[in-house]
A = this chain, B = another copy of it.
Protein backbone atom coordinates (compact mmCIF):
# COMPACT_ATOMS: atom_id res chain seq x y z
CA UNK A 1 0.00 0.00 0.00
CA UNK A 2 1.25 3.49 -0.85
CA UNK A 3 2.22 5.71 2.08
CA UNK A 4 4.49 8.63 2.86
CA UNK A 5 6.69 7.09 5.53
CA UNK A 6 10.45 6.68 5.28
CA UNK A 7 11.77 3.15 5.47
CA UNK A 8 14.99 2.70 7.46
CA UNK A 9 17.13 -0.34 8.30
CA UNK A 10 18.65 -1.78 11.53
CA UNK A 11 16.09 -2.26 12.89
CA UNK A 12 13.77 -2.31 9.88
CA UNK A 13 11.24 0.43 10.49
CA UNK A 14 8.97 3.07 9.00
CA UNK A 15 9.15 6.65 10.26
CA UNK A 16 7.03 9.71 9.70
CA UNK A 17 6.98 13.19 11.26
CA UNK A 18 3.82 15.28 11.24
CA UNK A 19 3.57 18.99 12.09
CA UNK A 20 0.22 20.21 13.35
CA UNK A 21 -1.19 23.72 13.73
CA UNK A 22 -2.04 23.54 17.44
CA UNK A 23 -2.40 21.25 20.44
CA UNK A 24 -6.08 20.52 19.73
CA UNK A 25 -5.14 19.22 16.26
CA UNK A 26 -2.33 17.15 17.77
CA UNK A 27 -4.74 15.58 20.27
CA UNK A 28 -7.33 14.87 17.58
CA UNK A 29 -4.70 13.18 15.41
CA UNK A 30 -3.39 11.08 18.32
CA UNK A 31 -6.91 10.01 19.31
CA UNK A 32 -7.75 8.96 15.76
CA UNK A 33 -4.38 7.20 15.39
CA UNK A 34 -5.02 5.24 18.60
CA UNK A 35 -8.22 3.81 17.13
CA UNK A 36 -6.38 2.65 14.00
CA UNK A 37 -3.49 1.17 15.98
CA UNK A 38 -5.80 -0.71 18.29
CA UNK A 39 -7.79 -2.10 15.36
CA UNK A 40 -4.54 -3.20 13.66
CA UNK A 41 -3.08 -4.52 16.92
CA UNK A 42 0.13 -2.68 16.02
CA UNK A 43 1.54 -0.09 18.40
CA UNK A 44 4.02 2.39 16.96
CA UNK A 45 6.45 4.29 19.14
CA UNK A 46 5.08 7.80 19.11
CA UNK A 47 6.66 10.97 20.45
CA UNK A 48 4.82 14.25 20.47
CA UNK A 49 4.81 17.77 21.80
CA UNK A 50 2.37 20.63 21.39
CA UNK A 51 2.46 20.74 17.58
CA UNK A 52 4.35 17.70 16.31
CA UNK A 53 4.07 13.93 16.24
CA UNK A 54 6.88 11.51 15.33
CA UNK A 55 5.85 7.94 14.64
CA UNK A 56 8.00 4.84 14.25
CA UNK A 57 6.73 1.43 13.25
CA UNK A 58 9.38 -1.15 14.11
CA UNK A 59 9.23 -4.50 12.36
CA UNK A 60 9.09 -7.72 14.30
CA UNK A 61 11.78 -10.09 13.02
CA UNK A 62 13.09 -7.45 10.59
CA UNK A 63 10.10 -7.82 8.25
CA UNK A 64 7.92 -4.80 7.46
CA UNK A 65 4.81 -6.69 6.49
CA UNK A 66 1.65 -5.66 4.66
CA UNK A 67 -0.15 -4.93 7.94
CA UNK A 68 2.49 -2.35 8.86
CA UNK A 69 2.46 -0.71 5.45
CA UNK A 70 -1.34 -0.71 5.62
CA UNK A 71 -1.36 0.97 9.03
CA UNK A 72 1.15 3.57 7.77
CA UNK A 73 -1.18 4.43 4.87
CA UNK A 74 -4.17 4.55 7.23
CA UNK A 75 -2.36 6.93 9.60
CA UNK A 76 -1.40 9.14 6.62
CA UNK A 77 -5.09 9.55 5.85
CA UNK A 78 -5.70 10.91 9.37
CA UNK A 79 -3.29 13.82 8.98
CA UNK A 80 -5.17 17.11 8.52
CA UNK A 81 -4.81 18.22 4.89
CA UNK A 82 -3.63 21.73 5.73
CA UNK A 83 -0.50 20.35 7.37
CA UNK A 84 0.56 18.14 4.46
CA UNK A 85 0.47 20.71 1.63
User: Is B49 within 8 A of A46, CB to CB?
Assistant: yes
Q: Is the CB–CB distance between B49 and A44 below 8 Å?
A: yes
- Check A17 for interface membership: any CB of B closer than 8 A: no
Hey, which chain B residues are within 8 Å of A34, CB to CB? 27
Q: How large, as a class, is the contact surface on chain A?
A: 10 to 19
A67–chain B nearest beta-carbon distance, Å: 15
Query: Nearest Cβ in chain B — how far from A43, in angstroms?
Result: 4
Q: Does A64 contact B (CB under 8 A)?
A: no
Q: Which residues of B contact A38 (CB under 8 A)?
A: 23
How far does the Cβ of A48 sit from chain B's closest Cβ, in whole Å? 6
**Which residues of B sit under 8 angstroms from A30, Cβ to Cβ?**
30
